[in-house]
Amino acid sequence: MMNYPLLDNINTPGDIKHLKEEELPLLCEEIRLFLIDTLSRNPGHLGAGLGVVELTVALHYVYDTPEDKLIWDVGHQAYPHKVLTGRKDRFETLRKWNGLSGFPSRAESSYDAFIAGHASNSISAALGFSVANRLCGRKEKVVAIIGDGSMTGGLAFEGINNASNSPNDLLIILNDNNMSIDPSTGGLNKALVDLITNKTYNKLRYTAYKGLSSMNLMDKQKKKKVVRFHNSIKSLFSEHRNLFNGFDVRYFGPVDGHDVIYLVKVLRDIKEFSGPKLLHLITTKGKGYKPAEESQVVWHAPGKFNSKNGERLSSSSDHPQPPRYQDVFGETLVELAEMDERVVGVTPAMATGCSMTLLQKRFPERTFDVGIAEGHAVTFSAGLSLSGLIPFCNIYSTFSQRAYDNIIHDVAMQKAPVIFCFDRAGLVGEDGCTHHGLYDIASLRTIPGLVLCSPRNEMQLRNMMYTAYKHPEFCPIVIRYPRGSGHTIEWKTPLEEMEIGKGEKLKEGKGIAVLTYGPIVCNAIEAIDEMQKNGEPTPALYDMKFVKPLDDTILREILSEGYKAVITIEDGSRKGGIGSAILEWFSEYSEQNQSIPKVYMLGIDDEFIPHGSVPEQYAYSQIDTQSILKKIKAVYASLL
């Protein structure tokens, strides 16, 4: 066990306030060592947290949390915050079942004011807190900490625009760790920051505004112009031009985000100012750990590693392993792009995560990473498709929720032939409820003309992509597939077209028909195989492949062969999922006085599933092999 002389005595932010300012750099060093040591054994997000250690310490040193609210954007920046707010003794449980969440969670701590799993929401949420404080007469301060790419999201600018036009006392801290943005350097910039945060200067500034207003020489519109002029004058003396000067938000910076003592001074000064403010910090992602500084994308979430030498530890065996679904997507996309120059790729800031980097390396001019902008990615893809190109728009299923209107209005209504590939569909494991892809089927099934499908293995994913490419008349189409690896070693088979809306009977059976789709089919196969080995009666098994359109040939076969019960299984919401779709189909026949089987639906209940491993989440949701086996046996027993 490592010893941390200062950190070991920090159990709440109140303990930090007992330290001398000159002790804060040592505390920051200990926090970094703690994070590196812990996350080397228990994988999580590393780089972003290392970049905000000084900021986190300074915030808790200056502000009175949890009364003052810290709203973190993209919660993987909040690891140091968790360490300092009474959770360091449980940090080994991070992202584990019944352990600490990898993101801020109101259910976990009073210091976590707002959930942060999806990007760019901090400013809007913090503005809500700040305005509520004003209306309720509360004096608490509110700080939004945004960065690590989140400023590419349009929601962030909607929040800033609103903040500049409503009375509030909001502080926005921009954690700028993008190395393409050069920080201002030299004594002049530091002197300017010292000047504009100086109390005497700001008292003079306030007196001037108040005096001019009392003489009717300064109305609201003129004050806005003066603020813009004031910001423009500051920019003349700074190498760093910024787009915030166009908003009526006071801008401070850029400031070195790794000088904790100076950050304390700046935050103390800014804390006294009223009105919306933005403090611009320059930080380094992965700060203090050389491997993470040198390879920031890899060390965003590196997995297990040797903390002493930075060697990443592989979990793979010596035997060939099935590929990750994301790599099957990436390699198949390159194949299609080599076949047809009209094929292009679009991703909202997830090129590495979805393996579109493979296309980016091969055809950089045909790969578009549009930033954290899912709605734009969808509408941009619509424009590409209606201009003769064939866009494969890859979005994580959970993030597709942010583009629902764009999918309806900009794609489906005009039958734009966009091919959507939804990565991380279903239960995703350690990232938890903010990242599960459980709601795509239920929400998208209502959209006219949209095709929904999910492959049970790697070859089906390839063939679904190929079929969508070959048949734009069936588009728009959504192909959803899970996080992680598949089941097949030899997956690079020749591309084949599939029949849209057609499923497949995998096993014969009596009495019960099991209908499912996607990778969860494999759990059903394992359950039925176990029953066969034990000599028990077994159900028929169908891989529906398509949730929309449903294969009505299979459904008519179920009616004609007299199955007494149907069990549907899915790794998405039961409400509105394939079980609901099949019940809707059967209901039409019940109206025609035709006998229909009883339908049992397995899937995700009406709750948010916590973080943990995928097998643990499957078992909790009763869609693992043993739960399916138990359900089949129970249904057979009910038929006796």
SS3 labels along 452-503: EECCCCHHHHHHHHHHHHHCHHHCCEEEECCCCECCCCCCCCCCCCCCCCCC
Helix/strand/coil (H/E/C) assignment for every residue in 588-636:
HHHCCCCCCCEEEEEEECCCCCCCCCHHHHHHHHCCCHHHHHHHHHHHH
Burial degree of 43 (CB within 10 A; 0-12, 13-18, 19+): middle
Determine if residue 118 is labeled as part of a ligand binding site.
Answer: yes
Is 119 within any annotated ligand binding site?
yes
Element holding 390 (H helix, E strand): strand 390-396
Which tokens in the block code for residue 51? 């970049």
**Cα–Cα distance for residue pair 173/175, rounded to 1 Å:** 6
- Residue 20 is among the residues annotated as catalytic for this protein: no
d(CA 155, CA 172): 14
Instruction: Catalytic residue, from 54, 374, 430, 458: name it.
Output: 374
**Of 617, 605, 608, 616, residue with least CA distance to 105:** 608
The values of phi and psi at residue 173, to 5°, are: -110, 120
Residue 374 counted as an annotated binding residue: yes
Query: For residues 391 and 346, is the Cβ–Cβ distance under 8 A?
Result: yes
Given the residues 234, 250, 277, 285, the one annotated as active site: 285
| 3-state SS, residue 148 | coil
- Annotation says 402 is catalytic: yes
Question: In a 3-state reduction of DSSP, which class is residue 173?
Answer: strand
Contact 432, 611 (CB under 8 A): yes
Q: Which of 324, 325, 300 is nearest to 312 (CA)?
A: 300
Sign of CA dihedral 370, 326, 43, 121: positive
Confirm whether residue 331 is marked as ligand binding. no
On whether 150 is known to bind a ligand per the annotation, the reply is: yes
504 is a catalytic site residue: no
Q: Is 318 annotated as a binding residue?
A: no
> Does residue 177 have a known ligand-binding role?
yes
Pick from 163, 389, 356, 120: nearest CA to 275: 163
CA 344, chain centre distance (Å)? 23
Residues ≥6 apart with Cβ < 8 Å to 187: none
Whole-number Cα distances in Å, 383 to 6, 260, 262, 323, 386: 56, 47, 48, 33, 5
Amino acid at 633: K
Catalytic-labelled residue, pool 87, 234, 287, 402? 402
User: Which residue ranges make up the annotated binding site?
Assistant: 76, 117-119, 148-150, 177, 289, 374
User: Which residue ranges make up the annotated binding site for thiamine diphosphate?
Assistant: 76, 117-119, 149-150, 177, 289, 374
User: Which residue ranges make up the annotated binding site for Mg(2+)?
Assistant: 148, 177
Residues annotated as catalytic (active site), given as ranges? 285, 374, 402
